Amino acid sequence: MDLRAKNLDKLDGGHFDILIIGGGINGAVSAAALSARGLSVALIDRGDFASFTSQESSNLVWGGFKYLENYELPLVWNLCSSRNRLLKAYPTQITEIDFVATLDKTAPFPALLAAVGALGYWGIGRFFTRPPKFLSAAAIEKLEPVSNTTTAKGGIRYADAYLRDNDARFVWNFVQSALDAGATAANYVKLESATQIEGKWEATLSNTASGQTASPFTVTADAIVNAAGPFVDGLNNSWDLETEHRIVYSKGIHLVVPKLTDSERVLAFFDDTGRLFYVIPMANRSVIGTTDTRTDQVDEGVTNDDRAFLLEQINARLDLDKPLTAGDIISERCGVRPLVVKSSGDDQIETDWTSLSRKHEMEIDRSKRVITLFGGKLTDCLNMGEEVMEAVEDLGFKLTAENDTWFGEPSEEARETFYAKAKSMGFGRKPKVERAESMAEVLWRRHGEAANQVLDFIESDARKGEEVIQNSDILRAEVILMRQREMITSLEDFLRRRTKLALTIGQDALDPDLANLAELLALPIP
Ligand SMILES: Cc1cc2nc3c(=O)[nH]c(=O)nc-3n(C[C@H](O)[C@H](O)[C@H](O)COP(=O)(O)OP(=O)(O)OC[C@H]3O[C@@H](n4cnc5c(N)ncnc54)[C@H](O)[C@@H]3O)c2cc1C
């Protein structure tokens, strides 16, 4: 029986302390944190893990420099603290990265003021990153010749951090650590309905994986964590649960294009509306984004207007031989940020949409025994996990002694031992497209200690060390390992979330290798 089937079996008719609905970042960290502290946890998502908002982020792990514009000091303080802890805990997956911001006529403040702000931001971040610097237009031109500095009044360089793989894989790590700690988790399992009967929740679930139309089944739980992201209000309404907060949606898009600069820096610009947007590195590609548009729809997708806007903005701010066109786009991403507002009154939303806070809220309904997670960020994940632990204690659950095993990479010693072995097997070579010193580093970054199994597979059959898809840096042995460990039920799970190939290679270029890949993953051949 494969991993998912085993977990479905455990769900069916099972009883859990906590049922978590939603396997985006908020649900995944909750599952990892609570299972590490001794609770029996079930985690479900109606799609793949991280297949909604959490796969559409800018992949930045940051304190939110721009939130200082709205004087959100506590938010920036907490996000910086989470960023610093994440940088320490994930030395290969999360890396410090320089931002070079060019301030031209569309910038809402002068470059010198931005430099003062950057110094303040650095201080709020406990001086954890490289110090910021004021840059003249000439200095920007020298550092990043691709930036158009003709109307620039100067700029700044400051540091934050980013995810070197992708957001969805980062989420998967938390699901993996929840599973390792004994949680039951399954993707493509939808909560159809849930009723509280004599203090206990009875939930009807269905298997939504394509081609698997099993009849609905039931689990029971003592409490629910509602981590459904943009959908939290719908679930709460279905349980007649009243909350002080609710969610509104802000749409953001990204366009993935061929690499625009060789540096591993983020380029930051103000668009014509005075809002910051970026060019962010992703392996051998650049990601342009994002936008911030009010919407009532969760799944509108990238429209022609969105695309045209972003292309126009970036073309005006870069010195390219040929302007970027829609034909240069390798892939597109679109998501809605679940932003938190008070349930009563719409005044704040109507008056100042772009300054709506990005801070999260958590509400505990003690009689219904439901914890609702509103908003949040990938960067906020450790804070969120810790708050969920406090919230379940508030509901009367006893947690085992505190430990930090629910997050972080394995020890440096384990990493160095792996590097030595991998290099002795020829993986000291540079990857083709990934930004890393060596393939050894890439393998460790992607799989942690399980990367040792990749080497074992290759030792027993050298063919497993070959690349599966051209210019992907993904080895056959990795695919075999991922098939066993990562609940991959479709090619999209693999290409879009467990890896970022659908983003960096693009669907058309992947086509010739898909049959081979499907066979390795034991999926239907497309
Ligand atoms: C454009 C954009 C850029 C961003 N950039 C960054 C960034 O650079 N850095 C950063 O830190 N943050 C960033 N964010 C914010 C961050 O991505 C989100 O806050 C975060 O991913 C939200 O996670 P979540 O778990 O709350 O929601 P989601 O990821 O949406 O997860 C909720 C899950 O609940 C599931 N679900 C819903 N109903 C049911 C049901 N009935 N049964 C089972 N499952 C259900 C859904 O399928 C979904 O997977 C960005 C967001 C966007 C949109």
Tens digit of pLDDT for each residue in 412-447? 999 999 999 999 999 999 999 999 999 999 999 999
Predicted confidence at residue 236, as pLDDT, reads 98
Using a 6 Å cutoff on CB, does residue 24 contact ligand 1?
yes
Q: Using omega within 30 degrees of 0 as the cis cutoff, is the peptide bond preceding 290 cis?
A: yes
Q: What percent of the chain has pLDDT over 70?
A: 98
Q: Is the dihedral of CA 349, 351, 356, 361 positive or negative?
A: negative
- pLDDT score, position 253: 98
Any atom of ligand 1 within 6 Å of the Cβ of 229: yes
The distance between the two most distant Cα atoms of the chain, rounded to a whole number of Å, is: 70
Q: pLDDT per residue over 228-246, tens digit each?
A: 999 999 999 999 999 999 9
Q: How deeply is 147 buried, as exposed, middle or buried, from its count of CB atoms within 10 A (0-12, 13-18, 19+)?
A: buried
Provide the pLDDT for residue 347: 54
How far, CA to CA in Å, does 153 sit from each of 38, 150, 182? 56, 9, 56
Helical ranges in 37-154 per DSSP H: 73-89, 111-124, 137-143
pLDDT of residue 420: 98
* Ligand 1 atom at minimum distance from 252 CA: 1
User: Using a 6 Å cutoff on CB, does residue 174 contact ligand 1?
Assistant: no
The pLDDT score that the predictor gives to residue 348 is 57
Q: Is the CB of 201 under 6 A from ligand 1?
A: no
| Top mean-pLDDT range of 66-80, 152-166, 204-218, 341-355 | 152-166
Q: Flag the least confident range among 151-160, 186-195, 401-410.
A: 401-410
Report the residue among 21, 53, 162, 357 best suited for mutation to probe ligand 1: largest number of ligand atoms under 8 A from its CB: 53
Binding site membership of 224 for ligand 1 (Cβ less than 6 Å):
no
Radius of gyration of the chain (CA): 23
Count of beta carbons in the 10 Å neighbourhood of residue 226: 29
- C-alpha 358 – ligand 1 centre gap (Å): 13
Cα-to-centroid distance, 441 and ligand 1 (Å):
28
pLDDT at 322: 96
Question: What's the whole-number mean pLDDT along residues 114-124?
Answer: 96
47 lines ligand 1 (CB under 6 A): yes
Q: What's the CA gap between 432 and 284, in Å, rounded?
A: 9
Neighbours of 459 (CB within 10 A): 13
Beta bridge pairs of residue 160: 97
Query: Is the shortest distance between the CB of 190 and ligand 1 below 6 Å?
Result: yes
**Closest atom of ligand 1 to CA, residue 26:** 25
Q: Is the per-residue pLDDT at 373 higher than 80? A: yes
Q: Taking 90 as the threshold, does the pLDDT of residue 91 lie above it?
A: yes
User: Residue 350: is its pLDDT beyond 60?
Assistant: no
Instruction: Answer whether residue 503 shows pLDDT above 90.
Output: yes
Calculate mean pLDDT across residues 77-82: 94
CA distances from 116 to 63, 87, 123, 342, 474 (A): 16, 24, 11, 33, 44
Q: Confirm or reject: Cβ of 408 under 6 Å from ligand 1.
A: no
pLDDT digits (tens, 9 = 90+) for 156-176: 999 999 999 999 999 999 999
- d(CA 231, ligand 1 centre) in Å: 10
- Counting ligand 1 atoms within 8 A of each CB, the residue from 57, 99, 247, 503 with the most, and so the one to mutate, is 57
Cα 223 to averaged position of ligand 1 atoms, centre (Å): 22
378 lines ligand 1 (CB under 6 A): yes
Sign of CA dihedral 293, 296, 302, 306: negative
Q: Is the confidence at residue 357, as pLDDT, over 80?
A: no
Beta bridge partner(s), residue 281: 286
Query: In this predicted structure, what is the pLDDT of residue 211?
Result: 75
Which pLDDT score is estimated for 346? 62
Pocket test for ligand 1, best of 187, 231, 235, 236 (most atoms within 8 A of CB): 231
Question: Which structure tokens are listed for 210?
Answer: 């394509």
For residue 136, the CA-to-ligand 1 centroid distance in Å is: 38
Q: What is the pLDDT of residue 358?
A: 83
Among 8, 11, 44, 45, the mutation site with the greatest number of ligand 1 atoms within 8 A of its Cβ is 45
Q: pLDDT band at residue 345, thresholds of 50, 70 and 90?
A: low
Query: What pLDDT was estimated at residue 78?
Result: 93
Q: Which atom of ligand 1 is nearest to the CA of 380?
A: 11
Spatial separation of the C-alpha atoms in residues 227 and 474, rounded to whole Å = 32
Q: Does the pLDDT value for residue 279 go beyond 60?
A: yes
Per-residue pLDDT, averaged over 63-75, amounts to 88
> Chain-wide mean pLDDT for the chain?
95
CB 444 within 8 Å of CB 419 = yes
Which residue in 377, 27, 369, 374 sits closest to 178, CA to CA?
27
**pLDDT above 70: residue 354:** no
**What is the average pLDDT across 296-304?**
94
111, exposed or middle or buried, with CB in 10 Å at 0-12, 13-18, 19+? Answer: buried
d(CA 461, CA 209): 33
The ligand 1 atom nearest the CA atom of 228: 34
Residue 333 contacts residue 503 (beta carbons within 8 Å): yes
pLDDT of 352: 65
pLDDT of residue 513: 94
pLDDT at 351 over 60: no
* pLDDT computed for residue 71 by the predictor: 84
Q: Which amino acid is at 152?
A: A
Q: 269 CB less than 6 Å from ligand 1?
A: no
Looking up tokens 């590195």 gives 281
pLDDT for 353 equals 66
The closest of 344, 337, 339, 332 to 360, measured between CA atoms, is 339
Ligand 1 pocket, residue 374 CB under 6 Å = no
Q: Assess contact for 339 and 295: CB atoms under 8 A.
A: no
Average pLDDT over residues 322-342: 96
Per-residue pLDDT at 66 exceeds 90: no
- Give mean pLDDT, residues 260-289: 96
Of residues 345 and 438, the one with the higher pLDDT is 438
For ligand 1, whether the C-beta of 385 sits within 6 Å is no
